Amino acid sequence: MSWLFQLLQAALVLAAAPLLTGFVRVLKARLLGRRGPPLLQPYRDLLRLLRKDPVIADNASWLFRSAPYLGFALIWLGACLVPTFTSRMGLGATADFIALMGILAAARFVTTLAGLDVGTAFGGIGSSRDIMIGALAEPAVLMVIFTISLLTHTTSLPLISEFMQTGAVGLRVSLALALIALVMVAIAENARIPVDNPATHLELTMVHEAMVLEYSGRHLALIDATAMLKLVLYVSLIAAIFVPFGMATGAGSAGAIALGLATWVGKLAAGGALLAVFETSIAKMRVFRVSEFLGGALLLGLLATLYLYVTRAL
Amino acid sequence: MLTAVFTAALALLLLGAGGAVLRQNTLVYGGSAAACAVAFLAALLWLLGGGEPERLVLPVGLPWLPVQLRLDALSAFFLLLVDGLGLLASIYALGYGRHEEEPQRVLPFYPAFLAGMNFALLADDAFSFLVAWEFMSLASWLLVLASHRQPETRRAAYIYLVMAAFGTAALILAFGVLAGPEGGYAFEQMRQRPDAFWPATLIAFLALVGAGSKAGLAPLHVWLPLAHPAAPSHVSALMSGAMTKVALYAIIRILFDLLDSVVWWWGLVFLLVGGGSALLGVLFATVQRDLKTLLASSTIENLGVVIAAVGLAIAFKANGLPLLGAVALVAGLFHALNHAVFKGLLFLGAGAVLVATGTRDLERLGGLIHRMPYTALAFLVGCAAIAAIPPLNGFASEWLLFQSVIEGAVLPQWSLQFAVPVVGALLALSAALALAAFVRAFGIAFLGRPRAAETAAAREVEATMRVPMGLLAALAVLIGLVPGLALRVIGPVIEALFGTAAISAAAGRFLWLAPPGRLDVAYSGFGLFAAGAVLLVLTVAVVKRASRTAPRRSAPWDCGFPDPHPATQYSAAGFAQPIRRVFADSVFRAVERVDMPAPGEQRPARLELRFDDRAWTLIYAPITRAVGTVTERLNVLQFLTIRRNLSLMFGALVLLLAIIAVLR
């Protein structure tokens, strides 16, 4: 049964990814007073890119060609490991929260290297900045993991969800700090405003878009789909830890699964809406301010952990 | 088994002597490879077979202290590391040695270096340990001096010699205190002697300083990024991959075997030293311009990680939590094993780059993935492993270490309660920065376009050099997928030191890593790899079906202005700039000076970048100055009359007797 759920989840995250991105885009356009693209536009964009000829630079190596596939598969794998509608997933025991961060780091390893492969200035600028963001974001997430695992006594994501669902943890200062830190990291990792702008085409302000500038055709389609999938991954992750309510646990009757699915879709929509509101109400920051932003996330995470240690000692 | 290892080590010694006379590349390296293979197999069989420690007393040595050798689980595990890497480095050297300019400066000392490490691991009394240790230090010092015509090499070797002497002095003192007033210099006597609190503390810190300086722990690390890269590359691999492990062996041997108990706050010091070294080392690695110096700096980081794990093990053990202590030490030894694999691989790869292009300067490399495809692939695996990318081996040990850090919440002392999460954050930061450092190393050296003519003309290296790199890369993957293999050889060590079969519960499941008693928290590199492979195949199949056109090749896009000149790529310095600005200003005092000519001026713009290690300015420079001043003041003593000299000696004697009288 758990493997069936796992397959269902793998398919669902894939199907939902362009929809969530489309939803955020529509909402942002409305908030700015524009009509915006249709909700399903991201699907059409992906299909259009898939049909186009990929053009590859003369001196690109095998790494450049395989990176989009590898990056996509890694983020997809990551999205399969986050509990969405049920906590009983086939892969639940193979990887915990720390391993999930390892998989995201692997995806970053592949994409930043691909950015350097052709040897252009834009690829380099994107890779170098993306690496800097990762160097600050990853330890911040690890501090969040420490905090959560001190509260729930486990680093396994399904078990964290189940434990948080019981409400035994209650309201805690550490939990709030960890939530803020994880949201800040999610914004940076998904290349959203104020860290990066997914819609920008002004080169000097780009991070992610500069790194993938050389890609076209199906490779670009994969990279865009990866970005959409990553957004689903992070929204689901935050939901699975901080608001796991409604998620099916145990063997799960059909009703519980349906409830889990419905609440998951609701959480994705709510996350997307919050993101759209947040992005329209804030300006993008300079690249070197990002370190302060993420350094803040790291310190919040550390503070959350320390606070727990101290309150335990008392 | 002990006799086999001993014979192999003796053969290495003879090879060293023979190497001085014969100067035969194939003979020396082939012989070293064979001896290492014998020692490696013997150690492996002993570990797998289990059983009582074997002892051997030789009829040589001091009259009251014959040379005693012993093979137990701890020494067998480290022999595995040293001789395994020694075997592969020797095979590699069969090819690499042919490019050596002055082979007579390497051939005699290389087997001697290996022999020194083997004897240090076998020694069962302080005297033979120290002799072997010095032998190892001096042999490696001579190897560092192999290219003695470069002034920076001579400086590196001088600093190494001073630091090695300092470290050995600290170890001599540590063993002196361990032996006690009755002078029991055999390790067996030390094990039986109970240690009082303050002498034990003194021993622990002398061991940390003495062996830690060899392991490159901050702030005693300054020699390491100078000396390790100066040696020939196969020796660099051994110095970073194996010799630092011998230092680690000394620390573990003294703390967990020779001393009968540990105190919790030693763990605090080890944790802070380890966490600090990890961050400092990796920050150096991210900004380094020389490929081999970068790798040496990252050695400081990895040994820092291991020492932090040792610190956790001390804290757990002192608090009566041997099971958690055992897990922390497993994480540390696992990481040490992994470091030997990937750092050995990376140094061999750097050596291949050096042979092919004649340079180690990242700013002159680039595009080697097209010219050296095998080396590039092996180096890429090494970079991914050291950057803790799952499912490779580096991630497995880091995962176990982080689990151990999380368990640190049960420690009762408040200072540890603060230190453990802070050190956890330092380790997390260094893991993330290691990713940056090695994306930069691989991306600048192997990707992009060649930055110099000799790089553009590079050719793939010969098979004898490629095979060891390939084997090490395969090992990095294999241990990552089947961590049970590593746990199988670490298990006996932990059982011998902690008396618990902590991790064998997890080792029963070869494909899984899990802290004992915590089967809910697990990591399976193999499971992730299998799932990821299925998803990857699915992705490729679907995408290739939906889009059938073959990719077209054309000039790079680069926003419409592709410039063929390689200087328009990102440079190594440019790539590190964001991280340098964020972290390094405070650590290295990095100074960037931009000299931009006014409009109309003809001279080129210049960017000057300078950074230095603050350990030099804050610690070593004052010490050097103080030593200089004191020696100058004391210089007058040389010119005293014999009468005054004798009276000084008499005064010293009286003073010492007075001290003894007071202490008694």
Q: What is the mean pLDDT of residues B143-149?
A: 90
Q: Which two tokens stand for residue B512?
A: 């899984």
Residue A154 near chain B (CB below 8 Å): yes
The model's pLDDT over A249-286, given as tens digits with 9 standing for 90+, comes to 877 788 889 999 999 999 999 999 999 999 999 888 88
Residue with tokens 């993330």: B432
How far apart CA B467 and CA B98 sit, in angstroms, is 16
The residue in chain A having the minimum alpha-carbon distance to the alpha carbon of residue B556 is A57
pLDDT average, residue stretch A60-78: 96
B451 to chain A nearest CA, in Å?
10
Phi, psi of B606, rounded to the nearest 5 degrees: -130, 140
pLDDT band at B506 (very low <50, low <70, confident <90, very high): very low
Question: Nearest CA to B504 among B313, B323, B319?
Answer: B323
d(CA B300, CA B278): 6
Q: What's the pLDDT tens digit per position in B5-31?
A: 899 998 988 888 887 777 788 889 999
**Using CB atoms, which residue from A77, A125, A142 is nearest to B428?**
A142
pLDDT category, A312, cuts 50, 70, 90? low
CB B252 within 8 A of CB B187: no
Q: Is A146 within 8 Å of chain B by CB?
A: yes
Do the Cβ atoms of B439 and A99 come within 8 Å?
A: no
Residues of A in Cβ contact (< 8 Å) with B367: 59, 119
Out of A164-168, B348-352, B599-603, B604-608, the most confident range is B348-352
- Beta-strand relationship, B552-554 and A55-57: parallel
Domain ranges in chain A are: 2-313
What CA–CA distance (Å, rounded) separates B545 from B548?
Answer: 6
β-pairing verdict for B65-71 and B552-554? unpaired
Residue A248 pairs in a beta bridge with: A86
- Average pLDDT rounded to a whole number, residues A151-168: 88
- The tokens for A278 are 């947040």
Residue B570 carries which DSSP code? P
Whether residue B65 is predicted with pLDDT greater than 90 in this model: the reply is: no
**Structure confidence at residue B128 as a pLDDT band (50, 70, 90):** very high
3-state secondary structure at position B65: strand
Taking an 8 Å cut-off on Cβ atoms, the answer to whether B531 and A149 are in contact is no
A121–B570 C-beta distance less than 8 A: yes
Residue whose pair of structure tokens reads 């897990």 in the numeric block: B327
Chain B residue numbers touching A220 (CB-CB < 8 A): none
pLDDT at A187: 93
Q: What are phi and psi of B59, to 5 degrees?
A: -80, 30
Nearest chain B residue to A115 by CA distance is: B443
- Identify whether the C-beta of residue B351 lies closer than 8 Å to the C-beta of residue B233: yes
CB contact under 8 A, A99 and B399: yes
A299, exposed or middle or buried, with CB in 10 Å at 0-12, 13-18, 19+? Answer: middle
Count of CB contacts below 8 A, A vs B? 282
Q: How high is the pLDDT of residue B505? A: 42
Token pair 């834009």 is found at: A122
For the record, the structure tokens of B374 come out as 């095998």
Backbone torsions φ then ψ of B104, nearest 5 degrees: -65, -15
Contact A98 B388 (CB under 8 A): no
Cβ partners under 8 Å of residue B574, min gap 6:
A124, A128
ipTM of this predicted structure = 0.95
A288/B532 touch (CB, cutoff 8 Å), yes or no: no
Give CA torsion, residues B83, B87, B88, B93, to 10 deg.
120
Max Cα–Cα distance, chain A, nearest Å: 64
**Which of the residues A44, A58, A131, A150 would you substitute to probe the B interface, choosing the one with the greatest number of B C-beta atoms within 10 Å?**
A131
Is the CB of A122 inside 8 Å of chain B's CB atoms?
Answer: yes
Question: DSSP letter string over B288-310?
Answer: --BHHHHHHHHHHHHHHHHHHHH
If DSSP codes are grouped into helix, strand and coil, which group holds residue B58? strand
Three-state DSSP class for B426?
A: helix
Report helix, strand or coil for A214. coil
Q: Which residue's entry shows tokens 């524009």? A: A34
Q: Check whether B624 has a pLDDT greater than 60.
A: yes
From chain A, the residues in CB contact with B535 under 8 A are 10, 73, 76-77, 80
pLDDT of B507 strictly over 50: no
Q: Which of B522, B614, B496, B541 is nearest to B253 (CA)?
A: B496
Q: For residues A212 and A126, give the distance between their C-alpha atoms in angstroms, rounded to a whole number.
A: 8
| Segment A111-127, tens digit of pLDDT | 999 999 999 988 999 99
pLDDT digits 0-9 by tens, B277-312: 999 999 999 999 999 999 999 999 999 999 999 999
User: How far apart (Å, rounded) are the C-alpha atoms in residues A230 and B569?
Assistant: 29
Contacts of B418 in chain A (CB under 8 A): 306, 309-310
A35 touches B: beta carbon within 8 Å: no
Rounded to whole angstroms, what are the CA distances from B453 to A210, A303, B358, B359?
A: 28, 52, 11, 11
Closest CA to A242 of A143, A172, A142: A172
Amino acid at B231: A
Instruction: Work out whether the CA dihedral A299, A303, A309, A314 comes out positive or negative.
Output: positive
Q: Which of A99, A124, A213 sits opposite B528 (nearest CB)?
A: A99
Contacts of A108 in chain B (CB under 8 A): 435
Q: Structural domain boundaries of chain B?
A: 614-663
Mean pLDDT of chain B: 90
Q: How far is CA B418 from CA A3, A303, B177, B323, in A?
A: 41, 10, 32, 22
Nearest-Cα residue of chain A relative to residue B526: A94
DSSP annotation string for B436-456: HHHHHHHHHHHSS--SSHHHH
Q: How confident is the model at residue B581 (pLDDT cuts 50, 70, 90)?
A: confident
Give the strand pairing for B591-595 and B54-62: unpaired
